[in-house]
Amino acid sequence: MSKETEWAWAAGVFEGEGCITSCYTDSGKKYRRAILKVAMTDLDTMQRLAELWGVKVVGPYQYAGRAIPIYVVQTTAKAKVEQIMAEFWPYLGGRRKSRATELGIGVDK
């Protein structure tokens, strides 16, 4: 499978199961850090996504009342976030593009 096809697949997973959020980090001065995160129950999908992103799968997390564990793939590393968003950009819907731009990680910054 081509890299372009892999990124298109990953963008689809992200559109369906992922989110763009942020946190404030205090390392002498406060700044806002973007977070790309996907959480789901399918370990094989999460392993494939993690490999493409260059990160590790975390979990499983077992929540009360849920029979199936949840796995998470995420990154806050600025260079990774920007690279992933550049690869995802042609495939993202308006809401995700708007959020990325708001956080300064969109291609249309």
Q: What is the CATH number of the domain that holds 10?
A: 3.10.28.10
pLDDT digits (tens, 9 = 90+) for 43-93: 999 999 999 999 999 999 998 887 899 999 999 999 999 999 999 999 999
- 37 class by beta-carbon count within 10 Å (0-12 exposed, 13-18 middle, 19+ buried): middle
Q: Which two tokens stand for residue 36?
A: 């790309």
Range of the domain at 47: 3-94
Model pTM above 0.85: yes
Evaluate whether residue 103 is within a structural domain. Answer: no
Evaluate whether residue 41 is within a structural domain. Answer: yes
